[in-house]
Amino acid sequence: MQNTQQPVLRDIVLVGGGHSHVGVLRRFGMKPAPGIRLTLICRDTHTPYSGMLPGYVAGHYAYDDVHIDLRRLAEFAGARFLRTEATGIDRAGQQVICSDRPAIPYDRLSINIGSTPKLSNTGGAADHAVAVKPIHRFNDRWLALLERVRSTPGPMRIAVVGGGAGGVELLLAMQHRLRSELKALKQNPDLLAFALFTRGRTVLPTHAPNVQRRFARVLGERGVAVHCNAEVTGVDATGLTTVDGQHHHADEVVWVTRAGGAPWLRDTGLALDDSGFIQVTDTLQTVTDPNVFAAGDIASMVNHPREKAGVFAVRQGRPLARNLRLSLEDREPQPYRPQRHWLALISTGDQ
């Protein structure tokens, strides 16, 4: 724990309770830095471990198994925890602007806020679809859906938009769980119909062809209607419309498409890539401002572009913690190179 008698000389502010900041807090908790005050700003008190999220939806894990309690972790690290949303950065004044409290000053700032689903680009999606993030909103809607299926079992159509690993995995997890619920109630699980919509010509476009074929087979065997080359152009209260003008009825539309950077970052003056992610150097410092770091999905490493995956966010925790310390001690931050290959496991929900 940080010694509370120690005068605060410098402030590190962490925006977002993503995987990298979990690592930073853990490291500062194990090795406190005298005179440095850590502050975590996060809109959620609990942050999910991404790889286990589909397992939670499938019913294999409880909520607490897959979520990290940020308030407790901050306490362990001797950090302040402020439950609020960052809405801007005043870089000249070195402070973070928050939605519902006075600005928070920083000497070093780190941003690990994940990616933001792009619902606003598709008419009606923001009102009628549910995105997997922010996680508390998805969880509330998921629990409500579970309750609806349990209390009034009847025909229901569920559409998932997005044919990447997240969309496929989440669909299979939801299907497994909801069918199990109906079976437990001695109801016919075939009352539930699932459909997957993707603008790509195949599911899992960034995976190897044999993985694509295997999952296309699993989806077929599980009775999922897969619509490829089917960009969703609109969502309404009754379902969704695809680029060919066809309307598909759906009681629930879940949005798991490729996401971008949070819109508020555009006003920070930080250099962003084409998808709105913050451009960072090998030290995880932003290319624009060495006092501002970024990691995880929101960071785009200019020299080492990689897919968005929680595994990178986790691995960046260690170099981020080290470089925040070095930078505050006016020493040279050390470069970091993400791995090229990683184990991508996609669950079929039933195992």
Ligand X SMILES: Cc1cc2nc3c(=O)[nH]c(=O)nc-3n(C[C@H](O)[C@H](O)[C@H](O)COP(=O)(O)OP(=O)(O)OC[C@H]3O[C@@H](n4cnc5c(N)ncnc54)[C@H](O)[C@@H]3O)c2cc1C
Residue 317 touching ligand X (CB under 6 A): no
Binding marks (x or -) toward ligand X, 54..83, rule CB under 6 A?
A: x-----------------------------
Kindly indicate which of the ranges 36-44, 143-151, 188-196, 282-290 contains the residues binding ligand X, using the contact rule CB under 6 A: 36-44
CA atoms 274, 275, 276, 279: torsion sign = negative
Are 166 and 256 contacting, i.e. CB atoms less than 8 angstroms apart? yes
Tell me the two tokens of residue 317: 């925790």
Q: Give me the residues paired with residue 158 across strands.
A: 194, 252
Nearer to ligand X, 79 or 153 (CB): 79
Residue 308 touching ligand X (CB under 6 A): yes
Rounded Cα gap, residues 336 and 23, in angstroms: 15
Helix (H) or strand (E) holding 22: helix 19-30
CA atoms 154, 157, 158, 163: torsion sign = positive
Residue 323 touching ligand X (CB under 6 A): no
Tell me the two tokens of residue 204: 């899992």
Nearer to ligand X, 136 or 337 (CB): 136
Report the nearest approach of ligand X to the CB of residue 5 (Å). Answer: 30
Nearest residue to 265 via CA among 88, 71, 4, 74? 88
Residues 194-253 that bind ligand X (CB under 6 A): none
Q: What are phi and psi of 222, to 5 degrees?
A: -90, 10
Among 313, 321, 324, 328, binds ligand X (CB under 6 A): 313
Kindly indicate which of the ranges 127-135, 177-185, 219-227, 265-273 contains the residues binding ligand X, using the contact rule CB under 6 A: 127-135
* Residues touching ligand X, count (CB under 6 A): 36
Rounded Cα gap, residues 137 and 125, in angstroms: 15
Kindly indicate which of the ranges 102-110, 131-139, 150-158, 285-293 contains the residues binding ligand X, using the contact rule CB under 6 A: 131-139
Residue 172 touching ligand X (CB under 6 A): no
Q: What are phi and psi of 89, to 5 degrees?
A: -135, 130
Report the nearest approach of ligand X to the CB of residue 39 (Å). Answer: 12
Are 211 and 219 contacting, i.e. CB atoms less than 8 angstroms apart? no
Among 78, 163, 310, 319, binds ligand X (CB under 6 A): 310
Residues 38-57 that bind ligand X (CB under 6 A): 41-44, 47, 50-51, 53-54
Radius of gyration of the chain (CA): 21
Residue 128 touching ligand X (CB under 6 A): no
DSSP 286: B
Residues in the site for ligand X, rule: CB under 6 A?
A: 15-20, 41-44, 47, 50-51, 53-54, 85-86, 112-114, 132-134, 166, 169-170, 256, 262, 296-298, 308-311, 313
